[in-house]
């Protein structure tokens, strides 16, 4: 599943290819992915709309129009493919945006889990799906104190599970949570309420740092995710995710994999001791 760094890479690519363009027509081949309204009004609202820019909130892409946002979540396998002219659709193409300059943007999704919805600019941040997201991790007001405050709500959860909640630490998903806890030397099963302030501060620094480095590398290329500008390269820097049995880069102990809250979780049993 694309996480914040991969979505940011997609955003930058879309910003270069579609911002400033005006939509002449929209075709929807899989109506279920359009949320909150029927396909007819969805298409009518977008027609003649001009994409001012492409923003991001957490793992949501926001196509910014004059009065509304098109909010797009890629879920497991969603991808955007821009084409300089009209091109025949692929069997996994579910939405086609045609622009007045003749170019097209195809939304492709093998698993069909992705969603699109329109939200008024004025209320978008106070209603689902954008409400209740924590501020962006690179926002200087997102501090260790804010994280500590958020974790109080999840004090009985393992820290791995708590950090996947986008109202606690925006942008961390399964891959980058494992990397963050490894860097911070915190065992993924540690209860959020059992963490010291020092450990929370280490998790905060590590999480922001892991996300920043991953954004700089164009995200990670894992299974189906492919950066639109070529391959993301952060997977080359992964210390624990997908490294089961590989020696820990710090101490040489074999990396282990367990399930936490149903999610595959990688850690070093020597560097990350569980606090009871």
Does residue 155 have a known ligand-binding role?
A: yes
**Binding test (CB under 5 A) with Zn ion, winner from 37, 125, 131, 251:** 251
Span from 31-39, 108-116, 190-198, 246-254 in contact with Zn ion (CB under 5 A): 246-254
Catalytic residue, chosen from 82, 233, 263, 269, is 263
Regarding 210 and contact with Zn ion (CB under 5 A), the answer is no
- Catalytic residue check, 160: no
Q: Phi and psi of 41, rounded to 5°? A: -60, -30
Span from 32-40, 201-209, 258-266, 268-276 in contact with Zn ion (CB under 5 A): 268-276
Span from 118-126, 163-171, 173-181, 263-271 in contact with Zn ion (CB under 5 A): 263-271
Quote the least distance from Cβ 269 to Zn ion, whole Å.
Answer: 8
- Catalytic residue check, 59: yes
Does residue 156 have a known ligand-binding role?
A: no
Whether residue 188 contacts residue 265, with contact meaning beta carbons closer than 8 Å, is answered with yes
Regarding 270 and contact with Zn ion (CB under 5 A), the answer is yes
Q: Which among 100, 99, 268 is positioned nearest to 185, based on CA atoms? A: 268
Whether residue 35 contacts residue 117, with contact meaning beta carbons closer than 8 Å, is answered with yes
**Burial level of 124, CB count in 10 A (0-12/13-18/19+)?**
buried
Quote the least distance from Cβ 234 to Zn ion, whole Å.
Answer: 20
- Catalytic residue check, 2: yes
For Zn ion, which is the closer residue by CB, 115 or 180? 180
Regarding 271 and contact with Zn ion (CB under 5 A), the answer is yes
Q: Which among 270, 1, 263, 269 is positioned nearest to 158, based on CA atoms? A: 263
**Binding test (CB under 5 A) with Zn ion, winner from 10, 116, 200, 248:** 248
Span from 2-10, 85-93, 184-192, 260-268 in contact with Zn ion (CB under 5 A): 260-268
Catalytic residue, chosen from 56, 59, 119, 202, is 59
Regarding 250 and contact with Zn ion (CB under 5 A), the answer is yes
Burial state string for 203-215 with b = 16 or more CB within 10 A and e = fewer than 16: bbebbbebbeebb
For Zn ion, which is the closer residue by CB, 177 or 183? 183
For Zn ion, which is the closer residue by CB, 86 or 251? 251
Q: Could you give the C-alpha distances from 186 to 67, 101, 124, 166, 194, in angstroms and in order?
A: 44, 52, 36, 20, 11
For Zn ion, which is the closer residue by CB, 195 or 240? 240
Quote the least distance from Cβ 59 to Zn ion, whole Å.
Answer: 29
Does residue 111 have a known ligand-binding role?
A: yes
Residue stretches of the annotated binding site for DNA: 92, 111, 155
* Catalytic machinery residues: 2-3, 59, 263
Instruction: Please give the residue ranges that form the binding site for Zn ion (CB under 5 A).
Output: 248, 250-251, 253, 268, 270-271
């Amino acid at each position: 599943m694309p996480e914040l760094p991969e979505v940011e890479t997609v955003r930058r690519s879309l910003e270069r290819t579609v911002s400033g363009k005006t939509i002449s027509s929209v075709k929807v081949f899989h109506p279920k992915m359009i949320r909150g309204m029927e396909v007819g009004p969805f298409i009518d609202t977008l027609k003649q709309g001009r994409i001012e820019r492409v923003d991001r909130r957490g793992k949501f892409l926001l196509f910014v129009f004059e009065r509304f946002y098109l909010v797009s979540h890629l879920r497991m396998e969603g991808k955007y493919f821009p084409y300089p002219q009209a091109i025949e659709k692929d069997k996994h193409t579910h939405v086609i945006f045609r622009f007045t300059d003749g170019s097209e943007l195809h939304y492709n999704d093998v698993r069909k889990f992705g969603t699109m919805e329109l939200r008024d600019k004025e209320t978008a941040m106070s209603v689902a799906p954008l409400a209740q997201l924590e501020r962006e991790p690179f926002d200087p007001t997102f501090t260790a104190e804010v994280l500590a405050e958020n974790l109080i709500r999840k004090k009985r959860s393992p820290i791995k599970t708590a950090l996947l909640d986008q109202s606690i630490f925006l942008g961390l998903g399964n891959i980058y949570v494992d990397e963050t806890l490894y860097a911070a030397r915190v065992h993924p099963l540690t209860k959020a309420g059992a963490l010291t302030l020092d450990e929370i501060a280490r998790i905060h620094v590590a999480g922001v740092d892991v996300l920043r480095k991953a954004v700089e590398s164009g995200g990670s290329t894992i299974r189906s995710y492919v950066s639109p500008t070529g391959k993301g390269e952060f997977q080359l820097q992964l210390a624990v995710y997908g490294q089961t049995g590989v020696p820990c880069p710090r101490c040489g102990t074999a990396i282990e994999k367990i399930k936490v809250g149903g999610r595959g979780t990688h850690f070093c049993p020597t560097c990350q001791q569980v606090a009871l």
